[in-house]
Amino acid sequence: MNKRTIYKEIWDELLPDKPLILLAGPRQSGKTTFARDIAAKDFRDVIYFNWDIDADKRKLIADPVFFSKIPKSSISSKPLVILDEIHKYRDWKNYIKGIYDQFEKEYKFLVTGSGRLEYSRKAGDSLAGRYLKFHIFPFTLSELNQQKIDFADFLKNPLNDFEEYVSGNTADNFGNLWELSGFPEPFIKGKKSFWSAWSLAYGQQIVRNDLTTFADIRNLDLVETLFALIPSRVGSPFSINNIALDLKVAFDTVKNWLLLFDSFYLTFRISPWTKKISRSILKEKKIYLFNYPVIENEAARFENLVALELLRAVEMWKDYGRGNFSLNYLRDKDRQEVDFLITKNDKPLLMAETKLSDDRPSANLISFQDTLNIPAVQLVKKDNVKKIYKNRNNNILVVTAHRWLSVLP
């Protein structure tokens, strides 16, 4: 399970084309394990650096090109330099830019971190044009199933027959994800009591340590309060204005805190898509959590689990270079809403709605399908559901979520 096969496929495609790869994802999602696995398999010489280790930190500060002093196995080999959590170094982008420009023909660099590595603190420190990036997510149904529909076939018909790819343990995988999240340590341990202890420490560690290292936060108690409020807001448009009033802080303060939550993979948000929708209105983004078992409301937790599955797919398609995909939601002035819309080049591709047990298509899904003229799927938590409904020239698939999601490319 540590091999993370689907990510190895991306790595094999990207590395020959660029000597600098950025590998980002939530803390404890398996980035370091993955980096060491591929390093052991693909490279004769590997230099591992971790900013969180004081000795490594002193080494870099004393000699920024320390790695170049380490002998190679042979003149022709290109060592891999792994720079783990280097984004915590305040001037890390200029540092990476400097060593890349000097050593790109002699070394390959893998930069990993639990913050969004493409995020810039200030203008002028961009790495644009120097890197390729990809993401590692916590375990998802598709990764655990390890059999996926061909991507090209999926684009042609997202509702195509998928049963031949589904393994017999998708229900078990779903149940474990539901209770334990997809983070490797609690998932592999398989105990809800361990997840509870892990979850508390995980959130506190990121909020109190990572965020305060990255930004000047003067009201840490309010930041923790904001984060504690999020599980009850999942699945609904998130009003920054209302939260700011509740916390008695400025709108921009809450906005910046939320950006930090996104940047360190505590949360992710999706925006409304409004083109071609009559009576559309711009609304707030919807917010979701990577550690979704903290959500007590069953419907909201189910929607969050599906959101993360779809986000993983969309981000990996982009990482593969398959196109500019995005995950959005739909809402109009009449407050009709569909949970998810996948777009390619900002053109609608597929709608998805979540329901706990309702196996008839929602009225909103039918209404938006009439407008957008695209396939739609309604994912239900209830087992043993698979029905196809005809809606004019389109179809709506109503299906048990873990069956369809487990083969998502």
211 close to 223: Cβ distance less than 8 angstroms: yes
Length of the chain: 409
CATH 3.40.50.300 spans which residues of the chain? 5-135
Question: What is the C-alpha to C-alpha distance for residues 249 and 241, in angstroms, rounded to an integer?
Answer: 10
238 close to 262: Cβ distance less than 8 angstroms: no
pLDDT of the residue at 279: 55
pLDDT of the residue at 276: 66
Alpha-carbon Rg for the chain in angstroms: 22
235 close to 295: Cβ distance less than 8 angstroms: no
Q: Is 280 exposed, middle or buried (0-12, 13-18, 19+ CB in 10 A)?
A: middle
Residue 125: pLDDT over 70: no
What is the pTM assigned to this prediction?
0.91
- pLDDT tens sequence across 270-309: 999 977 665 555 578 999 999 999 999 999 999 999 999 9
Residue 2: pLDDT over 50: no
365 close to 398: Cβ distance less than 8 angstroms: no
- Average pLDDT rounded to a whole number, residues 3-29: 77
Enter the tokens of residue 193.
């009591």
Average pLDDT, the chain: 88
DSSP-assigned letters across all residues of 211-255: HHHHS--S-HHHHHHHHHHGGGTTTSB--HHHHHHHHTS-HHHHH
Residue 124: pLDDT over 50: no
pLDDT of the residue at 1: 47
Residue 96: pLDDT over 80: yes
Residue 28 has φ and ψ, to the nearest 5°, of 65, 30
Residue 240: pLDDT over 90: yes
What lies within 8 Å, CB to CB, of 266 at 6+ separation is 26, 203, 206, 207, 227, 289, 290, 291
**Which of the four pLDDT bands, split at 50, 70 and 90, describes residue 367?**
very high
Enter the tokens of residue 273.
């898509």
pLDDT of the residue at 121: 44
Look at the domain 5-135 and name its fold: Rossmann fold (3.40.50)
Residue 182, SS3 per DSSP: coil
Q: Is 76 exposed, middle or buried (0-12, 13-18, 19+ CB in 10 A)?
A: exposed
pLDDT of the residue at 356: 97
**Which of the four pLDDT bands, split at 50, 70 and 90, describes residue 118?**
low
Enter the tokens of residue 27.
């803390």
- pLDDT tens sequence across 325-341: 999 999 988 888 999 99
- Which run of H or of E encompasses 343? strand 337-344
- pLDDT tens sequence across 37-76: 888 888 889 999 999 899 999 999 999 999 999 988 877 7
- Which run of H or of E encompasses 376? strand 376-380
